[in-house]
A and B are shown apart, each in its own frame.
Chain A
């Protein structure tokens, strides 16, 4: 008997040849996520950094100037005077000339001195709800600083709400970069393997393989191994670009991040393989892989919407989303410097998911050859 490893490695070698013989796909595989990451990352960065603040100043006093300067000084806002009326604000928003409007009442200076407290009206363009929340928090933050420096005795009655988007130093980008990485990794990995078996169904080579004494698990492992390396290479590039290009402060161990990213990649590859054993055509497989990774990762992983604020039913679904665990891991390692002990639970979940998916793939595969 020849050791089984040689069967698996023959298979893996063949898969490796398929990969390198298709340089066009390979280039797309590497370039696409990089471009998406850069585009996505910068889109989020811009949204956070440059809030055009239209100022309608009815007071025109030294105090109102101080307030405006306070906004100018925080580098999130670009205040500009707007001479129109309050009714014209909507046009400002529609033309995307302003993200928010500050209306300083004509008695601002007087009220401030007399009562030490006065309302200032802010109108925020909420067409992008997330951006609006962020802007509102920035405003609150800026006002708070203004109060502290100009009115130490009594704070303005201003409610400062701190949500996950609250961000003293553009943490939002840091917060989103792991999310984008999680999304890109799961999508690419799942799509990679989703077509590998269906392609062999279409070309008929699968039949030739199935009459050989090779075991289902050898096929599945032979399929998954070369793709781990490929997806890992893509993963490293995305992680490095994500971290360095966006200046995400890296607090943890990069080795740990790479190891756990590989585990996450394995989960996604296994999902792709499972899809591949079910789907009959490559197109169907790709579609299933795309939908089953894109939507849940976007909506249910905590990437955009915090899991704690989801309806309870949806919260249960999030346990099935690998990106949820990976986000916990990636944010933990990158932003908080977590070590493996802190991340044991999500790591175990990912491990179990990979194993379950692989076992289902092997089982499904055994059934495929019977029907």
Chain B
């Protein structure tokens, strides 16, 4: 695999007259933690869904793991993990059955699934809960389990759509630890979040507003450029500029 994990050029998605993602061009490097920030409705989920092959772009180009998102989505599927914004494990299945299922549809052998299952459950301290209903898990564990399941098949690129929403701060920290460990192994992480403190953990962040990217840099550079101490304040500044002169944002 080459060094660029995700690359888009003027990637666009319209729903009727409404443009949800407007000519977005980004490049994400292998092993990078790439954060996507933006208010509700900015277009983050739409962006991820196009990159995962769930949604066809209406304009522009995109490559994931070197494969064209328009024509090679089958190959992309082999190379990505995806954790959708909605909790998508089955609440009426036990934790163990959920892992078996997702392992199964990725074509993992029972032995592989078993090994991965033990590893995930150990990491989450859930060994004794393996046969409990997923519905009964606290939110933090649910998200951790969803992350583990999304990475069952060792994908080189992982898309996480607001993986920590509804999760308590302690669990969020643990969650990000897992993300960092994965990135250290060379896995590319593409993550959206509403939490500004989480943005600080990313290698680079892009801030999206109304379908376009209005800032893209390392957290340090962004803070330096805006002369602020936190991404939170940078974000507020940017949003203010946006509301004052929305037509200027394209450049």
Chain A residues closer than 8 Å to B53, beta-carbon distance? 211, 369
> Using a CB-CB cutoff of 8 Å, which residues 70-113 of chain B contact chain A?
74, 77-78, 80, 82, 84-90, 92-93, 97, 100-109
Q: Does B56 interact with chain A (Cβ within 8 Å)? A: yes
Chain B residues closer than 8 Å to A10, beta-carbon distance? 100-101, 103-105
Q: Does A209 interact with chain B (Cβ within 8 Å)? A: yes
How many Å from the CB of A282 to the closest CB on chain B? 15
Chain A residues closer than 8 Å to B103, beta-carbon distance? 10
Query: Would A208 and B84 be within 8 Å (CB), given that A14-B101, A18-B90 are in contact?
Result: yes
Chain A residues closer than 8 Å to B88, beta-carbon distance? 203-205, 207-208
> Using a CB-CB cutoff of 8 Å, which residues 196-217 of chain A contact chain B?
203-205, 207-214
Mostly helix, strand, loop or mixed at chain B's interface? loop
Q: Does A341 interact with chain B (Cβ within 8 Å)? A: no
Highest count of chain B CB atoms <10 Å: which of A22, A203, A213? A213
Chain A residues closer than 8 Å to B100, beta-carbon distance? 10, 13
Q: Which of A1-9, A80-88, A264-272 lies at the interface with chain B?
A: A1-9
> Using a CB-CB cutoff of 8 Å, which residues 1-44 of chain A contact chain B?
1-2, 6-7, 9-11, 13-14, 17-18, 21-22
The CA-CA distance from A369 to B55 in the complex, in Å, is 7
The CA-CA distance from A193 to B93 in the complex, in Å, is 19
Q: Does B54 interact with chain A (Cβ within 8 Å)? A: yes
Chain B residues closer than 8 Å to A128, beta-carbon distance? none
The CA-CA distance from A370 to B57 in the complex, in Å, is 10
Q: Does B179 interact with chain A (Cβ within 8 Å)? A: no
Task: Decide: B92 and A21 in contact? CB cutoff 8 A.
Answer: yes
The CA-CA distance from A2 to B110 in the complex, in Å, is 10
The CA-CA distance from A211 to B109 in the complex, in Å, is 19
How many Å from the CB of A197 to the closest CB on chain B? 14
Query: Would A11 and B104 be within 8 Å (CB), given that A208-B84, A369-B54 are in contact?
Result: yes
Query: Would A18 and B109 be within 8 Å (CB), given that A10-B104, A211-B80, A213-B74 are in contact?
Result: no
Task: Give the interface residue-count category, chain B.
Answer: 20 to 34
Chain B residues closer than 8 Å to A7, beta-carbon distance? 104-105, 107
Chain A residues closer than 8 Å to B90, beta-carbon distance? 14, 17-18, 205
How many Å from the CB of A16 to the closest CB on chain B? 10
The CA-CA distance from A7 to B49 in the complex, in Å, is 24
Q: Does B213 interact with chain A (Cβ within 8 Å)? A: no
Task: Decide: A214 and B86 in contact? CB cutoff 8 A.
Answer: no
Task: Decide: B82 and A213 in contact? CB cutoff 8 A.
Answer: no
Q: When the two chains form the complex, which single residue of A9, A11, A13, A211 contacts B54, counting CB atoms closer than 8 Å?
A: A211
Q: Across the two chains, which residue of chain B brings its CB closest to A369? A: B54
Q: Across the two chains, which residue of chain B brings its CB closest to A21? A: B92
Task: Decide: A11 and B105 in contact? CB cutoff 8 A.
Answer: yes
Chain A residues closer than 8 Å to B207, beta-carbon distance? none
How many Å from the CB of B14 to the closest CB on chain A? 13
Q: Does B52 interact with chain A (Cβ within 8 Å)? A: yes
How many Å from the CB of A285 to the closest CB on chain B? 19
How many Å from the CB of B142 to the closest CB on chain A? 13
Task: Decide: A211 and B74 in contact? CB cutoff 8 A.
Answer: no
How many Å from the CB of B145 to the closest CB on chain A? 13
Highest count of chain A CB atoms <10 Å: which of B90, B103, B109? B90
Chain A residues closer than 8 Å to B56, beta-carbon distance? 370-371
Task: Decide: B107 and A1 in contact? CB cutoff 8 A.
Answer: yes
Task: Decide: A211 and B97 in contact? CB cutoff 8 A.
Answer: no
> Using a CB-CB cutoff of 8 Å, which residues 112-150 of chain A contact chain B?
none
Highest count of chain B CB atoms <10 Å: which of A7, A204, A209, A211? A211
Query: Would A204 and B78 be within 8 Å (CB), given that A7-B105, A10-B101, A17-B93 are in contact?
Result: no
> Using a CB-CB cutoff of 8 Å, which residues 30-53 of chain B contact chain A?
49, 52-53
Task: Decide: A14 and B93 in contact? CB cutoff 8 A.
Answer: yes
The CA-CA distance from A7 to B97 in the complex, in Å, is 14
Chain A residues closer than 8 Å to B109, beta-carbon distance? 2, 6
Task: Decide: B82 and A211 in contact? CB cutoff 8 A.
Answer: yes
The CA-CA distance from A210 to B101 in the complex, in Å, is 14
Chain B residues closer than 8 Å to A370, beta-carbon distance? 56
The CA-CA distance from A14 to B78 in the complex, in Å, is 21
The CA-CA distance from A149 to B101 in the complex, in Å, is 75
How many Å from the CB of B223 to the closest CB on chain A? 34
How many Å from the CB of A253 to the closest CB on chain B? 38
The CA-CA distance from A317 to B82 in the complex, in Å, is 46
How many Å from the CB of B131 to the closest CB on chain A? 12
Task: Decide: B105 and A209 in contact? CB cutoff 8 A.
Answer: yes
Q: Across the two chains, which residue of chain B brings its CB closest to A20? A: B92
Task: Decide: B104 and A9 in contact? CB cutoff 8 A.
Answer: yes
Q: Across the two chains, which residue of chain B brings its CB closest to A219? A: B105
A contact set with B: CB distance below 8 Å: 1-2, 6-7, 9-11, 13-14, 17-18, 21-22, 203-205, 207-214, 218, 369-371
Q: Could you name 14 residue pairs across A and B whose Cβ atoms are closer than 8 Å?
A: A2-B109, A6-B104, A14-B93, A18-B92, A21-B93, A203-B86, A204-B87, A207-B54, A208-B84, A208-B102, A211-B53, A218-B105, A371-B55, A371-B56
The 5 closest A-B pairs by CB, nearest first: A10-B104, A204-B86, A208-B88, A21-B92, A211-B82
Besides the known contacts A10-B103, A18-B93, 11 further A-B residue pairs in the complex with CB atoms under 8 A apart: A2-B107, A7-B107, A10-B100, A14-B90, A204-B88, A207-B86, A211-B82, A212-B105, A213-B105, A213-B106, A371-B56
